[in-house]
C-alpha cells in the first residue's frame, strides 16, 4: 500500500445528519451466470480484475488435437457470463491460444499467443499450423478498451504430435 492510501473509519461531525438515505438497490439474486454486484463494490481496477479471475463462471472451452498439426477449440458461454463481462468493460469477444510448452500459464507468461476476434455467436474455431511437439491451452473471454483480459474459461493442455510419415518399402 502506498503511503498516500489509507483505510479507516470516519465518525460524523456533531450536527451532521447520519440517517440513511435511499440508494439504488442491486439485485444479488443468484442466476445461472455471474453475479456482478458482489465483485464490483468499492474495488479499484486491480481488485476488480482479481475478483473477476476468482469468480465462478459457467463457461467452458475444450481444445482437441487434430490431424496435420492443427487443433479445434469449441466453447460454450452462457449469455449471463457474457453480460457480466461486458458490464465490467469487456468489448471484444476473443479466443486466445497459448503455447504452454514447459510452462504453467497461471505463473508464467506464454512465449506465444495467438488471438482471434470472434462474434458472440461463434462456438468453435479450427486452429491451423500449430507447432509439432508443443503444448497448447485456449481461453475464451473479452478484452477491455484498456487491454485487460476478462477470461471466461480455460481449456486443459493438449500436445500436438509430429505428423506420422508412412514409408512403403518395396521388396523385390
Containing structural domain, residue 47: 37-160
Query: Does residue 118 belong to any structural domain of this protein?
Result: yes
* 8 A C-beta contact, residue 102 and residue 118: no
Phi-psi region of 68 (alpha: psi -120 to 50; beta: other; left: phi over 0): left
- Condensed to tens digits (0 to 9), the pLDDT of residues 19-59 reads 333 333 333 333 344 444 444 445 565 665 655 565 667 99
Query: Does residue 76 belong to any structural domain of this protein?
Result: yes
How far apart are alpha carbons 90 and 98 in whole angstroms? 20
How many structural domains compose the chain? 1
How far apart are alpha carbons 168 and 159 in whole angstroms? 27
Query: Does residue 11 belong to any structural domain of this protein?
Result: no
- Give me the CATH number covering residue 76: 2.60.40.10
Query: Which residue from 149, 124, 127 is spatially nearest to 136, judged by alpha carbons?
Result: 127
Query: Does residue 108 belong to any structural domain of this protein?
Result: yes
The model's pTM: 0.67
Q: Please compute Rg for the chain using Cα positions.
A: 23
Query: Does residue 134 belong to any structural domain of this protein?
Result: yes
Amino acid at each position: 500500500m502506498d503511503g498516500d492510501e489509507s483505510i479507516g473509519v470516519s465518525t460524523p461531525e456533531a450536527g451532521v445528519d447520519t440517517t440513511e438515505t435511499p440508494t439504488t438497490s442491486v439485485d444479488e439474486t443468484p442466476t445461472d451466470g455471474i453475479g456482478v454486484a458482489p465483485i464490483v463494490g468499492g474495488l479499484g481496477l486491480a481488485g476488480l480484475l482479481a475478483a473477476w479471475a476468482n469468480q465462478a463462471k459457467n463457461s467452458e472451452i475444450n481444445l482437441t488435437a487434430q490431424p496435420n498439426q492443427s487443433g479445434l477449440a469449441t466453447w460454450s458461454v452462457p449469455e449471463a457470463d457474457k453480460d457480466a463481462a461486458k458490464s465490467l468493460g469487456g468489448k471484444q469477444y476473443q479466443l486466445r491460444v497459448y503455447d504452454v510448452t514447459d510452462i504453467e500459464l497461471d505463473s508464467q507468461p506464454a512465449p506465444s499467443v495467438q488471438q482471434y476476434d470472434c462474434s458472440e455467436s461463434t462456438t468453435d474455431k479450427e486452429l491451423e499450423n500449430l507447432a509439432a511437439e508443443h503444448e497448447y491451452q485456449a481461453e475464451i473471454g473479452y478484452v477491455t478498451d484498456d487491454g485487460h483480459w476478462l477470461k471466461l474459461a480455460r481449456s486443459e493442455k493438449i500436445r500436438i504430435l509430429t505428423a506420422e510419415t508412412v514409408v512403403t518399402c518395396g521388396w523385390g
